[in-house]
Amino acid sequence: MTEVIRLETPLTHEKVAQLKAGDNVLISGVIYTGRDAAHKKMIEALASGEKLPFDMKDQIIYFVGPTPPKPGQVIGSAGPTTSYRMDAYSPKLIAEGLTGMIGKGLRSPEVIEVMEKYGAVYFGAIGGAGALIAKRIVSAEVIAYPELGPEAVRRLVVKDFPVIVLIDHLGNNLYDIGKAQFERA
């Protein structure tokens, strides 16, 4: 059985350097949310010299647009969004200090190149498990772009949030590793 790595945010470069593609990780601490519309607004803010909704340095963005919470819940279903939608924006945010992203699916070669250059990691969360993932979210607060509804930027506090390292800071890609193992079998 694979050892589980417990990771506390912020996600410093020292912590990033210890993660390898295929590692199972439980994240605790603060992470932020953002999907395509929020990413577009953040890139526009950077282009016009405005401050971002939060300091990107050593932070993790979860690509999610949660459903509204039911009474008594902190957040509704919170499953990952397909990450390639953020590929046009991620390189600029990584250059601003972002060290972690959580989503599902493949990333472009350009994003992987920037991850290697600046030392960032891409985590995968399980699609279709949004209701279970939401149970790992202790608190959720909209901090920017409330007009975007589910796509607003939120500050989440998570406890033992389950992810797997899909692409590490060296560009090792679990999708490629798995495909190569399958082809050899």
* Domain residue spans of the chain: 4-184
pLDDT at 42: 98
Pick the CATH number of 4-184 from 3.30.590.10, 3.40.630.30, 3.30.465.10, 3.20.130.10: 3.20.130.10
Q: Which positions are catalytic?
A: 39
User: 181 pLDDT exceeds 80?
Assistant: no
For residue range 83-138, list pLDDT tens digits in order.
999 999 999 999 999 999 999 999 999 999 999 999 999 999 988 888 889 999 99
Region of 97 please: left (phi>0), alpha (psi -120 to 50) or beta. left
d(CA 28, CA 8): 5
Q: Report the distance separating Cα 39 and Cα 151, nearest Å.
A: 9
HEC assignment per residue over 51-69: CCCCCCCCCEEECECCCCC
Q: State the average pLDDT over residues 9-30.
A: 98
If DSSP codes are grouped into helix, strand and coil, which group holds residue 41?
Answer: helix
